[in-house]
Each structure stands twice: as structure tokens, then as C-alpha cells.
Amino acid sequence: MSRTVPVLGGTAPAAVPSTLKDRSVTPHHRRAVTAGAVVVTLSGLVLGVATAAPAASAPEPATATLLAPYYTELDLTGDRQVTADDLAVVAENLGATDADPGWDELAAVDVDGDGALTVADLAGVSQRMVYDDGPFELVEADVVAMQSAMNAGVTTSVEITQAYLDRIAAYDTTLVDTADGGRPLHSIITTSDVALDAAAEADAIRESVGMTSMLLGVPIALKDNYNTHDMPTTAGCGCWDDNQTSTDATMVEGLRSDGAVILAKATLDEFAFGFASEYSAYQPAGQTTLVASPYVTSRTAGGSSGGTGAAIAANLAGIGFGTDTGGSIRVPSSYNQLVGVRPTIGLASRDGIVPLALSQDTGGPMARSVTDAAVALDAVVGIDAADPVTARQEGKVPESYTASLDADALDGARIGYVPSMLGNNTTTRRLWAETVTTLESLGATVVEVTPPTSSSPVLPNGFTSVLGEGSGSTNEFRHDLDEYVATHLAPGVEARTLDDVLDSGRFVTSRRSTYVGRAAVTEATYEAWAGPEGTHTKVLAEGKVLVTAMLDDADLDALVYPSGNPYGTQGTNLRLGPNTGLPSVSVPVGQAVAADGTVTGGGVNLELLGRDFSEGTLLGLGFALEQATEARTSPALYPALD
């Protein structure tokens, strides 16, 4: 079977499409692809190499859009990617051996290691291109599969977007689980009326200038507390059904700038309060709905980003975004066998996201693979004057997080754990033991860590005090929400205070006492808690110092602990990231089986936590673990549509 491998390209368009215009945030990077066309045809033999003359107005040479070693290590032409130019070099040198002068420059592409360049090596190098002309399967497709298929012309962003819309229509509100207690997912609040237009624009960009980023044309589902100028932002509350903001959240600007298609807004626990993912948006007063996990639909998808978790797990969108204050990315990631990233506070702007507690709030990706999470994170980093804490990232963000995606990343790594964080859940302990064996087989050293039991008046019990500090959601919510209302809430929305929310009757009424309590928090209470000299502020600052010292003293690359148990949390583990501001990546390691006596099919994630702005390291470690275990499963209840 012949395989034709083009480098997509062409002349630059006369006007830059709106999705690629610079955004207000200072972006960390901007990438483009090369013009010109090179075609190499393989059919058992090399039949030919043809190079098209570049147009006079051709763009600058390409820089790589995917820096994972697998896609860069066989580059021969210095552009950090495998293109048809590299294939041409291999083709021109077929028959060369390790006895020939200049072999050192070619040895990297001797894929089979036999000391000679053959057609087999040419075929092996071609596999390192972001290109695949074979059949495309939407279910479980990652961004590499999507881009490869779109680059080959096998599918388009319009087709992928329509396929996700079809899956949402077929599955999201349909009862497909006939077991006792089975429920519809209810993971999507609304779909975009202009998603197909955005997809068509992405296809036009690809046709005109090639693949401009790994997100070009990829459909994204956002938790419905991210502002979007083309869909209302309800925060899950019926009181805000009409909150059509005029601008996007800064993170959404970044996604659109990289060519992503904003497909839908995902359901969430109302105002991100808890882990149940119960919401009242677009329902009559007094009525609410719970989000279900696609693996065991009688169980919650977790929260507060439960809709994102359920939708991405059930393949209703390409990649998702959630927010995390005290676990709201990592809980639904664990419940739904996803990779969840809670970034360092200051890596991604929170401007335009409905807040819960800004001392701990952060947005981040939720994805079916570490690769997808890394690609998504690349799009949303940047310094934003509207969120001053982002200035901390200056000089600390890599060109691309995908550069860390190395299957050998665990070799030589030191991974620490605190025994008390493991708990006693049968499934979790079994998977922990299996994972330790895997980590050690990959060259990591797993180190038991004894945390400090005392530290300072602020942390009298040391590490235990860090884990014991509560969420800021009670004392900060009113203050931070008032700022959002003043800056972003659509003028026509009547519920502009917590008292207004209560008066509207359109909220999760079982939480009336929570709203009443948070509405009563005074500015003095807020300042005493979260002000510059507030008690909470001091705990978070000293907590970061203490945990960083734990990492340094034991020469650790990361601490590891369970994000939770099957459909449940584990102690106060989830507080470690929020109470230090340090980043973490939660990765699936397996599921409960009947013999465990827990919840059969329930997922368990392990969470890797590291130093400030060490997302690259954590993603690399998580990638190596993911590649070794292949632990994620696709929910059987939601197969490919006919």
C-alpha cells in the first residue's frame, strides 16, 4: 500500500483570521508552519521526492508545534520536527552504512539499529510526522490523532466538531444505562451556535498556511464558569441564565488564539461550591440536576468540574477545562479516568472566570491523555495585567510543555510519598502497590517521607497543619464574586449579590444556608482571613515553604499520593496543592474490580505534586507512567455512533 506524506503549506493569507490575532495576555509562545510542499511516496520502495518552489511571500520557516521527543529526536534538518524534508534526506542517503563517512549525522534515523539506512528506516521516520492517512476513529482520539488525520485530509475540523455535536445529542440527556440507578450524563449545559463556523475557519487556516498549532480545529468543552462571548456563563445557577458576557475569559482567548473550537459549556456544581455537581441553570425554580459518571451512572461525576469530567470521559469533546479551588479538577478527573492539571497559582490568568476563592482558584485542563493536557496548557499560560499574580511566571515557563513528554522521564527520578496519605481503601492500596512496582521498573526511586510535625506558630503541627487548613470558599466567595459582578457580569442580569440570588429562588435550594452564611461574611472577616496579613494568607505562604523544603531535603522530583478512592476522596489529600499554591498532575492508574469490595469500575488517580512552576517535570513523569500502564479505559456505555 502506498503512503503519500505531504508537508502542508502555502502562502500566507492576506488577513490574519480572528482566531489567530494577538490577545491581551502576553503569550508565552507563538508558532507557525512552513510553506512549500514536499511529497514522498512509499510503496515498498522509494519512488520519488519532489519539492515545490516556495512562493515569494512564503512565511518564515516552521518551528515545531509538538516538542515531545518522539516527534523531534529524528529531525535531521534543524527545525525540531520530522517533515518531508527529513524524509528527503533519508531517501537521498538510502544504502549508507555505519562504515561510511558522515554516518554520525545520519545515525539517528537508523531506526532499526542495523547500521544501514533502508526503506524500513524511511518508513520509521515517516511515522514521526504529525500525519496519518489511515482510518480516523473519534472515540478516544487525542490531539495527535486529530491533527494527523486533518493534516492528511482524512477528516476536517468541521467533521470532527459535527461528530462531537452528534454524540452530545445522542448521549448526554439520554438514559443509556438500564442498570438500577442509571442516569443520563447531563454533562453539557449548552452547545455553541457558532462552533461549526469556527471549525470551518480552522479548516481554512489549515488549507492556507498549514497546521498552526496542535489545537487548530480541536473542539473544547469549558466548565460553565469561564466567560465566553458567544455563549452565556451561568456558573450553573438559574439566576444567571442570561449572563452573556461581552468578552472571553483570558484562558479562553488563548485557546481561540491557538485555533481551538469552543464547542460547549459543561455543567458544574453551582458556583463551584462542592463535589456533587448539582446545578439549577436553565431549569424552573426549585428544580436541579445532578451530573453522572459515564462509568457508573448511578454515581456522581465528581465536582465541581463534573460536567467537564463526564463529557471528556464519554468523548463528547476533544479536551476540557475545569477550575480547582479545593479539588474540583482532580476529583472529577479521578472519578472519570482523566488527566487533570492543577497549575501553579500564577501560571494561567483567572480573569473572566467566576471565582470561588481567589487565594486558591486556578483553571486547568482535563483530558484523556497527558499529551492532550500538555498541549492544552501551552495555550493558556501568559502574564495578564488583569490577574497580577501571573507576573510570577516571568522566565519560568518553557517554550512548550510537550517537550517534557518523554517515556523515559521516570528513569532516575525520585518520587516521595507520605504513608498517612495512602489511606486504607482496598482498591487504592492495591493500585498503589502495583504503581510502585511500575515506577521502580521504569527506573524511579520511591522514597518514604517523614513530614515535619512542627514548624511555626502559623503551622504548629507542621505538615498536618498544611493539610488541615480549610478552603477559602466561605470567607472569600462574597468578596471575590462582587469583583466579578462589577467587572464582568452582563448588565441585564438581576441577581447581582448573594442576597439577590436568594431572592430569585433560582438556585440549588438545598444550599440556602450556605448562601446565607456566605452572604453574611463581612469585609473585616475577609481581610482577617485573606488580606495581606490574614491567617489563611500566612498558612498558604508558609505551607509552600514547608512542602518545598520537604522536596528539597529528600532531593525529590515530586510527591505522590492518591487524588481519591473509587467515587470518593481520600482524607485531606486534595488540600495539599491549594494550601501551598504548588502544581499537581493527576493521572489514572486503574479501576476497582469486584474482588476489591469497593465500587467496581470506579477509577483511581495518583497525583504528582512538585515545586512552583514545575508543570513540565510533572507532566513528563505522568506521561511516562501513563505510557507504561495505559490505565485509562473508555466507558463502554458510550461507544462510537453507527
Torsion of CA 534, 536, 540, 541, to 10 degrees: 20
Q: Are 420 and 449 spatial neighbours (Cβ–Cβ below 8 Å)?
A: no
Q: Report yes or no: 49 and 36 within 8 Å, Cβ to Cβ.
A: no
- Kindly tell me the sign of the dihedral angle through the C-alpha atoms of 261, 267, 273, 276: negative
Do 187 and 196 form a contact (C-beta atoms < 8 A)? Answer: no
Which of 148, 328, 333, 471 is the catalytic position?
328
Catalytically annotated residue among 192, 223, 293, 465:
223
Residue 614 designated active-site: no
Residues 399 and 387: their CA atoms lie apart, in Å, by 21
Q: Which of 126, 304, 404, 584 is catalytic?
A: 304
**Could you give the 3-state DSSP secondary structure of residue 564?**
strand
C-alpha pair distances (Å), 48 with each of 54, 70, 89, 90:
19, 26, 12, 12
- Angle at the Cα of 464 from the Cα atoms of 463 and 468, rounded to 5 degrees: 120
Nearest residue to 319 (alpha-carbon basis) of 257, 249, 371: 371
Buried b / exposed e over 568-601, threshold 16 CB at 10 Å, is: bbbebbbbbbbbbbbbbbbbbbbbbeeebebbeb
User: Which of 508, 630, 598, 567 has its CA nearest to residue 294?
Assistant: 567
CA distance 539 to 507: 33
Catalytic residue at 304? yes
Amino acid (1-letter code) at residue 456? S
How would you classify residue 25: left for phi > 0, otherwise alpha for psi between -120 and 50, otherwise beta? Answer: beta
- ω before 304 within 30° of 0 (cis)? yes
Q: Which residues are catalytic?
A: 223, 304, 328
